[in-house]
Amino acid sequence: MSTQTVDQLDAPIAQSSWGLLSWVTTVDHKRVGLLYILFAIFFLVVGGLEAVLMRIQLAVPNNTFLSPEFFNQLFTMHGTTMVFLVGMPIFTGFSNFLVPLMIGAKDVAFPRLNAMSFWMLPFGAFLLYFSFLTGSAPDAGWFSYAPLSTKPYNLDTGIDYWILGLVVAGIGSIAGAINIVATVLCLRAPGMSLQRVPLFVWIMLMQAMLILITIPPLNSAIALLCIDRWLEAAFFEPVRGGSALLWQHFFWIFGHPEVYVFALPAFAMISEVIPVFSRKPIYGYAFVAGSSTVILLLSYGVWAHHMFAVGLGTSANIFFSAMTMLIALPTGVKIFNWTATMWGGAIQLTTAMLFAIAFLIQFVIGGLTGIMFAAVPIDWQMTDTYFVVAHFHYVLIGGILFAVFAAIYYWFPKITGHMLDERLGKWQFWLWVIGFNGTFMVQHFLGAMGMPRRVFTYADNPGWATLNAISSYSVIFMVLGTLVLVWNVVKSLIDGEKAGNNPWDAFTLEWATTSPPPTENFTSLPEIKSRRPVWDQTHPDHADWKHSKTPEDRGRRPDRARVCAWAFVISEAIFFALLIIAYVVFNFDQTGDGPSAVNSLNVERTGIFTLFLLSSSLTFMVAERSLRLGRQASFVTWLGITILFGVVFLAGQAWEYTDLLTSGVAIDTNLFASTFFTVTGFHGLHVTGGLVALAIMFALGRKQRVTQAQSKPFGAIGIYWHFVDVVWIVVFATIYLRVYQS
Amino acid sequence: MFPVFQPESPQAQAIYDLFVIVLVISGVILAIVSLLVIIAIWRGRAKATLPEQDFGSHKSEIFWLVGPTIVVIWITAISAKLVLTINAVPKVHLSEAEAGEPNITVTGHQWWWEVQHDDSGIVAANEIYIPVGKRLRVKLQSADVIHCFWVPQLARKMDVIPGHDNYIWLEANKPGTYQGRCAEFCGTQHAWMNFKVYALESDEYSKWETNAKKAAADPVRADALAGKQLFFAHTCVNCHTIEGTEAEATIGPDLTHIASRKEIGGGVLENSTANLKLWMKNPQAIKPGSKMPDFNFNDRQVDQLVAYLESLE
């Protein structure tokens, strides 16, 4: 291991306060990032302990260690915790800490929003875990399949806490993702064109964009479930005309891209670790970056491979099978890129590198079983068995968690300024390799023996007891390995070897500053002329820009407020798209008695109020133009008119709702009424939110606090306001104008 | 021991054949990747000099893509072919479109299976008797939440969804007992929602059919008679059917031939006098969360009830 360092910067002596309050109030991306990582690790332990309890229960047949009710709560909470309280925050944490450093920025684009995004998370986690105190944690699985999760089959409040917790955490995730997108697009240091960012940054940009489009379908699904449970609608109740399959579609439109939300960061980490410890640049930067983008684009088209056993029909099965096979290619090509990076390199078997290599092999195993599941008939046999449990744990632990361990060993010196002990690191590595493979390899065989997943116990069938015992006892190795890691961290923080700026002789900008970096990250930046600016600095004879040309930076950086508004609008558009799809699904053929669009809606009247809303977009544009030209009085007047038009629209909606309710059409009446109130209600809420923002601008405008200088952020609000109008045009066309069709 | 790898029907055999092909391909790919990684480490670990800074070449990347692409297209093709033809495996059978009314209707309940033989009108629970070598059309429906019907040795897995009927083929090549299970999480007792498929030679099957068609005869023994009175004095009749009596409810399993069943409680216990008594004493202790409440019968009542149930052969 090389400890050669260049341009050693003195660590700033006057670090800001390290008291407890400073952690609550911090908006520094490094501290927020660290909070994310610590939060995730805490819940990794909690979720891990839940898994340990389950493995104790399953260690012997016919066990009575846990009741079936508690076991079901445990696997529900284990899945929910690992996805929402570990997977999401751990990568957002690394992204937060590293992305600004890697692009030579002082902080993220919106530091205060960043802090808010983080603090939503403990709030959501609290709601979720509070359910244990109510006597029943959620117990319908992390996927909460309807109708098992609806009121007729689940009266406990657990599911309600699950809904609340996920919505709150989800809002934080979207806000956090917006921040990363804006940071990468707007705050790159001079010289760093978008084609020169480290692969970690590029892939995390793709991941953040994926989060923006992944979480909204979950929110739509959860909104419908919530309305079912609290307002007695019947979206998912087949007895009252609802559809049990709609939940599965919505959930997996979220659920499968979510897998890539976890896989992409793992690829991002590995793409930094392997090159550094092979002493070579990544082989095929463009392929790794491009294939990540392809994954982003394809990830929306594979959800139904979770539904091959529901009887979707032959053509749907084949389509989603082919799409799934297709998405395996950009994933598979990366394996070759990493292997080729190692090929001919000077391999340094540090702990980080060992974890990266184990990632490579174990991820291939998980990927290959994934291919098996993409082959529909094999899925028909193996889905919902322990074979699938083994498959996704090979992806999530053997792949993704191993990548996180690699990242911890690799970036720990940068984050804390101390090295982790390599000898202890190797102990942890081997304990985890043995423990992980011992636990999950045998589960492939259990699946072939016919053991379904999510069973709290099993009969003493031939072979089951032995393999389950091997699986359970192997967990001990993982627990020991984790303790070694904890000991390693503690030991390092107390008297670990000082890291210096660049202990690994690494390539990217985060290694050009002190460890840990000062509050504003850099005192001076090296010149950025390639993808490896620090390598260029430390190896001037072999500098990348001499051998491999990369596109020059043309200095284009979009306005961050606009990027933020667009990112938000895209995510909201998906939320509405799914609600509108739900409307179309349930009102496609308007047969039967009861209220419908035809017999309940006053299209002409709503048409008039629609004109008010649409006009408000025009008056907003006039207001925006006035502000840009510095005509303050005209700006305030036109903004006032915009607000007035918005209020008139809402009044029209209130009139319409009153008419409907007095004639006995409420949200629980039938599926038309449920979908109608859901779609228009959420739109009305968005109009209201927009009006609040406009009213604040109006008040500040009158006090001369919003002036010409703020015309760009004001324009960002406009993007949202126009978006709300566009949504209404779609809603009006789908719900109201269709009346004329029939 | 490995039902997935011991197919006993043409459909399960076809899936198994596909599985073996994909397993072999996967094994080869894993071996190639592992070998490359090991060689790279072996050759690179002692290297002290700065390696050549190789940024990659699109030519070789595209070359690598060719192999995996061909493999993936091939797997997609053979699995799509099986998806298209599995309902007509082997070929002499009718395709799905030509299929007629179902022979058997299976209804998933929390947490047991109702089995209705549509040809003969026989209703059973958690046991499906079929004649060997005959291909039966099974309709799958749910009375409550989503379940999943899975007999690994005989057929594909198929979800059982409320408001969405599914159909599968069931067939066994040779006589035997085939384990089936619910594979979709369906609530508290998902673990004990097992069933068995008994494939019988045709003469054996007709013997079973003749017996199963019979309504329940009145018990002879005194304790069984007392048990019958208890059965009708309590709320048992609100959930269960016993053909030939006024018990006609369909919320719980049909008990007309309970004594000839091999298991009770969705596989949680073998059917024996002692186990039936355990169950009647307090079902919630055996299968917590089960829809059958604890009636707090005393030991004498339990004995009488079990005597009655055991008379129902």
Cite the DSSP H helix spans in chain B.
Answer: 10-44, 58-85, 202-213, 222-233, 273-281, 283-286, 299-311
Torsion angles phi and psi, residue A207, rounded to 5:
-65, -45
pLDDT, position A17: 66
The CA–CA distances, whole Å, from A326 to A305, A322, B122 equal: 12, 6, 48
What's the mean pLDDT when you consider all of chain A? 94
pLDDT in tens, A141-185: 999 999 999 999 999 999 999 999 999 999 999 999 999 999 999
The answer to whether the Cβ–Cβ distance between A314 and B83 falls below 8 Å is yes
Strand B112-117 to strand B123-125: parallel, antiparallel, or no bridges (unpaired)? antiparallel
pLDDT, position A13: 40
Write down all domains in chain A, each with its CATH number in brackets: 1-261 (1.20.210.10), 563-741 (1.20.120.80)
The answer to whether the Cβ–Cβ distance between A339 and B26 falls below 8 Å is no
Q: What is the ipTM of this complex?
A: 0.95
B69 vs A: CB within 8 A:
yes
What percent of chain A is predicted at pLDDT more than 90? 90
Cite the DSSP H helix spans in A555-602.
Answer: 560-587, 597-600
pLDDT in tens, A223-267: 999 999 999 999 999 999 899 999 999 999 999 999 999 999 999
The answer to whether the Cβ–Cβ distance between B65 and A329 falls below 8 Å is yes
pLDDT, position A589: 73
Distance from CA of A316 to the nearest CA of B (A): 11
pLDDT, position A9: 39
Round to whole Å and give the CA distance between A155 and A152.
7
The answer to whether the Cβ–Cβ distance between B79 and A376 falls below 8 Å is yes
- B93 vs B164, residue with greater confidence: B164
Read off the pTM: 0.94
In A, which residues are within 8 Å of B2 by CB distance?
A: 445, 448-449
Which residue does chain A place closest to B2, by CA atoms? A449
The answer to whether the Cβ–Cβ distance between B58 and A450 falls below 8 Å is no
Round to whole Å and give the CA distance between A720 and A707.
20
Q: Which of residues 278-307 of B touch A (CB under 8 A)?
A: 288-289
The answer to whether the Cβ–Cβ distance between A67 and B68 falls below 8 Å is no
pLDDT, position B99: 60
Query: How many Cβ pairs closer than 8 A exist between chain A and B?
Result: 277
The answer to whether the Cβ–Cβ distance between A346 and B48 falls below 8 Å is yes
pLDDT interval class at A19 (50, 70, 90): confident
Distance from CA of B226 to the nearest CA of A (A): 34
In B, which residues are within 8 Å of A238 by CB distance?
A: 161-164
pLDDT above 80 for B94:
no
> How big is the CA angle at A153 (ends A150 and A158), to the nearest 5 degrees?
65
Which stretch of B91-100, B130-139, B147-156, B285-294 has the lowest confidence by average pLDDT? B91-100
| Residue type (1 letter), B13 | Q
Torsion angles phi and psi, residue B48, rounded to 5:
-100, -25
Collapsing DSSP states into helix, strand and coil, what is residue B142?
A: strand
Distance from CA of A532 to the nearest CA of B (A): 12
Give mean pLDDT, residues A47-68: 97
- Which among A148, A343, A360 has CB closest to B146? A148
pLDDT in tens, A378-408: 999 999 999 999 999 999 999 999 999 999 9
What percent of chain A is predicted at pLDDT more than 70? 97
The CA–CA distances, whole Å, from B41 to A1, A270, A343, A429, B57 equal: 16, 16, 8, 17, 21
Burial A451-467, CB ≥16 within 10 A → b, else e: bbbbbbbbbeeebbbeb
Which of A37, A40, A33 is closest to A183 using CA atoms? Answer: A33
pLDDT in tens, A584-621: 999 987 666 789 888 899 999 999 999 999 999 999 99
B79 vs A: CB within 8 A:
yes
pLDDT above 60 for A564:
yes
CA dihedral sign, ordered A366, A371, A374, A380: negative
Which of A719, A507, A565 is closest to A185 using CA atoms? Answer: A565
Q: Which of residues 396-455 of A touch B (CB under 8 A)?
A: 445, 447-450, 452-455
- Which among B30, B79, B159 has CB closest to A321? B79
pLDDT interval class at A508 (50, 70, 90): very high
Which residue does chain A place closest to B36, by CA atoms? A339
* Cα R_g (chain A), whole angstroms: 27
Which of A369, A357, A371, A418 is closest to A394 using CA atoms? Answer: A369
- At A573, list the tokens: 């558009």
**Which of A57, A65, A355, A376 to mutate against chain B (most B CBs within 10 Å)?**
A376
In A, which residues are within 8 Å of B44 by CB distance?
A: 278, 342-347
pLDDT interval class at A8 (50, 70, 90): very low
The answer to whether the Cβ–Cβ distance between B4 and A450 falls below 8 Å is yes
B56 vs A: CB within 8 A:
yes
